[in-house]
Structure 1
């Protein structure tokens, strides 16, 4: 393994360890010593990659943002019903939150803005929801009188509420919770021509993501870390 590869691994381990500390202890109580210990590296190695705790938190948020953007992009454009893709993306992100501590911690840090950061992790989600509803309106999938703007506010409020509740109980992210939500919403949103064609439990393909299988941590992407390491010429200390 090259020095650059070790540097990438160290950085990713630190981001994951920091996410675990931020999730369980919060930003204020989490310490750099605990973060470095959780990653199995020295304090010197941590400071080689990150100047301070705020920089570590920024890295966690950035990794979470990348994972959320990638999940949304999978469903924003494609074949099939726009409303079904909206249902599917909510299930996909719920599974991502279950599987990826970095995404959970990144959203929590961003909501609390504990370190004074200005990144808006939920902006992409708002754009995704509104975009899919606008597409549904264009192709005649919305019921009469249903508008993308007002409907997106309801979907955003419901999904954000589920994410906040899940900080204390991950059961809120289970498939039945979102299925119940869509069973209530879809009859009000969908045009009569779609009756019986939309699955509130999500398409079967949603369950094939790596987040659902728990095989990967999408929030900590090795390719992104490798690019950072290459630009900075990092070497493990």
Structure 2
């Protein structure tokens, strides 16, 4: 039992260390010895858990995907009552940008998906894109979208913008990324939401005091 617990801790340490190195240096320049030293384990232990750098990168992507899925589940369970799919999308996007800035595993998972030295078709970027598109299709079916709005075009705008805000946040080039997310939705929502529907509550400071407990 003790050995199993130690093995789990070692894998977690390796995944986090790998994520930090991948995010800093990129996949091609990332070195397994550097990763093992940062994790505080031997190279032998690293190769025991992950025989190749590609397998380690896939584990980082899987962990990042799981992190995004947890954000979706958490917001779906505690979102604004009656907010619908668009409210969920607004809430999750704000959380994702905030997490991007502080979670190296999530950040590296997205970056690995777009790394030119790899041809990854998995990872959080693909899952997030597919989820956003599916949610917007559901919103269209529920009458939440304005007439003429394409779920595909809207999904591209949301996915690209959220990724950009996340990169700005983690690069410390823009310290007000949450505010930018709020302003992005303030610009997009009036043209996205059907006139008969109430606009979703925006993320950021104005939504901070909102009671999101379903009644």
Q: Where in structure 1 are there 5+ consecutive unaligned residues?
A: 209-237
Once structures 1 and 2 are overlaid, which stretch shifts more, 72-81 or 35-44? 72-81
Q: Give the TM-score taking structure 2 as reference length.
A: 0.83
- Map of 1:200 onto structure 2: 202
Shift in CA distance, 119/113, structure 1 to aligned 2, threshold 3 Å? farther
Q: Secondary structure at the match of 1:140?
A: coil
2:127 aligned with 1:124, yes or no? yes
For the Cα contact (< 8 Å) 2:19–2:108, is it kept in 1?
yes
Q: Secondary structure at the match of 1:122?
A: helix
Q: Give the TM-score taking structure 1 as reference length.
A: 0.76
Q: Distance in 2 between matches of 1:140 and 1:40?
A: 53
For the Cα contact (< 8 Å) 1:83–1:136, is it kept in 2?
yes
Shift in CA distance, 52/139, structure 1 to aligned 2, threshold 3 Å? closer
Q: Where in structure 2 are there 5+ consecutive unaligned residues?
A: none
Question: Of residues 176, 184, 188 in structure 2, which corresponds to 1:185?
Answer: 188
Once structures 1 and 2 are overlaid, which stretch shifts more, 169-178 or 126-135? 169-178
Q: Distance in 2 between matches of 1:103 and 1:173?
A: 20
Shift of 1:2: 0.2
2:149 aligned with 1:142, yes or no? no
- Map of 2:156 onto structure 1: 153
Q: Distance in 1 between matches of 2:130 and 2:176?
A: 21
TM-superposition CA deviations, 1:107-160 (whole Å, max 9, x none) = 111111534433243222122212222222223222232232332222223223
Shift in CA distance, 205/100, structure 1 to aligned 2, threshold 3 Å? farther
Shift in CA distance, 63/180, structure 1 to aligned 2, threshold 3 Å? same
Q: Residues 2-81 of structure 1: matches in 2 within 5 Å?
A: 2-75=2-75, 80=82, 81=84
Q: Secondary structure at the match of 1:141?
A: coil
- Map of 1:88 onto structure 2: 91
For the Cα contact (< 8 Å) 2:169–2:177, is it kept in 1?
no
